[in-house]
Structure 1
Amino acid sequence: MNNNNKIKVLLVDDHEVVRAGFRILLSSQPFIGQISDLDRGELVTQEYERFKPDVVVMDLSMPGIGGLETIRRLQKLDSDAVILVYSIHDEAIYVERALEAGAMGYVSKNSAAEVLAEAVKSVAEGKRYIEESLLPEVDDVRHDNIEHYRKVLDLLSPREFDVFCRLAKGMTAHEVAADMHLGYKTIANYNTQIKSKLRVNTAADLANIAVVLGIIKP
């Protein structure tokens, strides 16, 4: 933490309204100091070095490189970076992937406002924070399906995982390319690589895997 013991926060979310809401919520807390914000992951490492935040609060589903790849890049830049994911995704697989990438905590956007403030304070103090409502689902995956779960996850890079999630939810390659600000050919190549790694041939196969992993509901 900085010298006045207030937590400097960097917010990363592609929705301006969400960032504005975060600012209002966090700035009302006596333990929060300066706040900076960005709308995409590509800018995070540069702003991190300039602003030197105590905590980075980050969404996962952003255009461009996405949250998981951004976490990976931050961890490569500074292995001590404190990252809290604040995401609409409350499925266990997202929590596990974020923690594995290097996040210190995970909070759902469906949670009460005070939960985010509590989470920021906790991770700034070096404590891992996972929203309580997410813990049972995460524990179930760890205990009941851990071996299969790990094998599937380890096959995909963070970027491939982001593409996989979009394809599994029914987006076309053109739609994924537009959403991630990448070329169609790039997404088509990812699509081929992902199917090869998972040993499947169709979009339906990807959807079935996503259902098993809890990414989409059956």
Structure 2
Amino acid sequence: MIRVVLVDDHELVRTGFRMILAQQAGIEVVGEAADGEHGLALIRSELPDVALVDVHMPRLSGIELTDRVRKHKLSTRVVILTVVSEAPFPRRLIEAGASGYLTKGCAADELVRAVRQVADGRRYLSPDIAEVLALGALDGGESPFEVLSARELDVAMMLARGQDMQLIADKLKLSAKTVATYKYRLFDKLGVDNPVALAHLAHTHGLLDDRTRALSD
């Protein structure tokens, strides 16, 4: 039996994935969490074979959670959940110890295939993300966002989407002062000085779609 936990702050995503996996022989969903901190605690207590983990979450990002699972030498294998526009991040997550990278819009059979493949000790990359990695290698370049820490990356994406400082602080369970520190640090690393410039840079490197960019302009 493949034991799975779901870690995502969107209840609808968890519900959809749970319903798909519940229909599969040999797969059991043994727990769910709505943020990274509780997700890590759940992984430690249940020691599932596979954890499906959202990349952007309150309290603890998917990157940080994956890194801690690796550092604590837990047996759980992590599959990161994301959307296609966030595809520039697979290299960072693989380095952190992720075993798979799956888009939230994947078909049901791809979700099941990814879970079984990762539980079997192999890696899984969705075709869209594998293409991004291959093209990045051919171009010989990396996204400037690769230099950011996991939490800086969370703050950067929220700022790029037009969210204000207090909302970011509330979502990440941080003080406004701490968020401001992350903001100025990531601005310095990326060479930008305002959220609009950050949004344009994120769009250029495929992190925002045209509609989200328009909202940020």
Same fold (TM over 0.5): yes
Q: What does residue range 9-158 of structure 1 map to in structure 2 within 5 Å?
A: 9-78=4-73, 80-146=75-141, 148-149=142-143, 152-158=144-150
- Can you give the 5+ residue segments of structure 1 that lack an aligned partner in the other structure? 1-5
User: 1:134 and 1:45, CA in 2 relative to 1: closer, same or farther beyond 3 A?
Assistant: closer
* Percent identity of equivalent pairs: 34
* Deviation sequence 1:25-64 (CA, Å, 0-9, x none): 1121112135211111112332222211111111112222
Corresponding residue for residue 166 of structure 1: 158
Aligned equivalents of 2:186 and 2:129: distance in 1? 28
Aligned equivalents of 1:145 and 1:212: distance in 2? 16
SS where residue 93 of structure 1 aligns?
Answer: coil
Runs of 4+ in 1 over 3 A off after TM superposition: none
Give the aligned residue type for 2:11: E
How far the C-alpha of 1:90 sits from its partner, in A, is 4.2
Is the CA contact 2:21–2:29 (under 8 Å) kept in the aligned structure 1? no
Aligned equivalents of 2:20 and 2:133: distance in 1? 27
Is the CA contact 2:63–2:150 (under 8 Å) kept in the aligned structure 1? yes
Corresponding residue for residue 3 of structure 1: none
Give the aligned residue type for 1:63: P
Question: How high is the TM-score relative to the length of structure 1?
Answer: 0.87
Is the CA contact 2:47–2:76 (under 8 Å) kept in the aligned structure 1? no
How far the C-alpha of 1:206 sits from its partner, in A, is 1.4
Aligned equivalents of 2:87 and 2:42: distance in 1? 30
User: 1:166 and 1:51, CA in 2 relative to 1: closer, same or farther beyond 3 A?
Assistant: same
Find out whether 1:206 has 2:201 as its counterpart: no
Number of residues of Structure 1 aligned to a counterpart in Structure 2: 210
